[in-house]
């Protein structure tokens, strides 16, 4: 369930959603905290241009 929420937050480029997941679910759970941190890093790699998001996705699949 947490992984789906984190993946949705990344797809929506919603750092606020990641913060909510971190605050509500991550306290005391190192696994969730690591996944939130990884998702936050992934979000920072994207810029505001949606075409760059698609390009980055295809670049990772090469």
Note the pLDDT tens digit of each residue in 6-16: 777 777 767 77
Flag whether pLDDT at 29 surpasses 50: yes
Residue 34 half-sphere exposure, CB side, CA atoms within 13 Å?
A: 3
Q: Could you tell me the pLDDT band of residue 61, with boundaries at 50, 70 and 90? A: very low
| CA 26 – CA 34 distance, rounded (Å) | 9
**How sure is the predictor about 54, in pLDDT bands with cuts at 50, 70 and 90?**
low
Q: Which class for 44: exposed (0-12), middle (13-18), buried (19 or more C-beta within 10 A)?
A: exposed
- Between these two residues, 35 and 60, which has the higher pLDDT value? 35
pTM for the full predicted model: 0.56
C-alpha dist (Å) from residue 23 to 36, 48, 60: 10, 25, 30
pLDDT of residue 62: 45
């Amino acid at each position: 369930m947490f992984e789906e929420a984190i993946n949705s937050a990344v797809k929506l480029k919603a750092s606020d959603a990641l913060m909510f997941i971190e605050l509500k679910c991550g306290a005391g759970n190192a696994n969730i905290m690591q996944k939130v941190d990884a998702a936050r890093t992934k979000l920072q790699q994207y810029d505001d241009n949606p075409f760059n998001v698609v390009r980055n996705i295809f670049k990772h699949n090469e």
